Amino acid sequence: MTEEETRRQRRARFESLAHVVTEPLHRYLLRRTAPDMVEDVLSETMLVLWRRIDHVPGLGTGSPPDRDDVLPWCYGVARGCLANARRADGRRLRLVERLIGVQQESPAVATDHGDLHAALDALGELDREVVRLWAWEGLAPRQISEVTGLTSNAVSLRLHRAKKKLAHQLQPGRKNAERPGHKMSEGRSSQ
């Protein structure tokens, strides 16, 4: 195979991959960062996918890739690119703050679903990401494990515990509610 044929084949593989993953990756990033950062992070993600096209699991040479095979790995790449962008953004902000001596206000959390966002914020960062991948991206624990680098069992456990915590946090009147199946008068006698 000549070098030109290899380049054409590589380009065709990338184009078929991009056709399958661009829109889901865009949605993934929209849910996790400011709209003005999405295109930059998506571009960086696609560049990494181009560079690592031979490492994408489930990407064959002939037929179009199966979305369920390639998307979890691509989410993992997007997650890494987003983390890099956030770190770079943080460095820029700290530099600006030092230069002008003014603390920047953090953007306000969307008022829509404030209780849900507060409950999500109460989770650890990794648990929050597991829940988002499950609820927003519709990934199974096996696929989430590919994105996060955890085992499938660890993802299942984290997801189960996080859902329990969220349910508890979102329960109306949870502070004064009795535990199900228990009456306040039950328990030890006062004698």
Same domain, 116 and 166: yes
Contact indicator for 165, 120 with CB cutoff of 8 Å: no
| Cα–Cα dist 140/73, whole Å | 13
- Whether 144 and 131 share a structural domain: yes
Answer yes or no: do 145 and 118 share one domain.
Answer: yes
92 and 6 part of one domain: yes
Q: Which of 90, 107, 124 is the last residue of a domain?
A: 107
Q: How many CB atoms lie within 10 A of CB 6?
A: 10
- The region, left, alpha or beta by phi > 0 then psi within -120 to 50, assigned to residue 181 is left
Judgement on whether residues 49 and 37 belong to the same structural domain of the protein? yes
| Rounded Cα distance, 121 and 83, in Å | 17
Q: What is the pLDDT of residue 169?
A: 86
Question: 116 and 97 in one domain?
Answer: no
pLDDT along the chain (191 residues), means of 10: 87 92 96 94 96 87 82 95 93 77 46 75 90 90 92 93 90 57 48 43
Residue 138 lies in a domain: yes
Range of the domain at 73: 1-107
The pLDDT of residue 112 is: 58
Res 191: pLDDT = 43
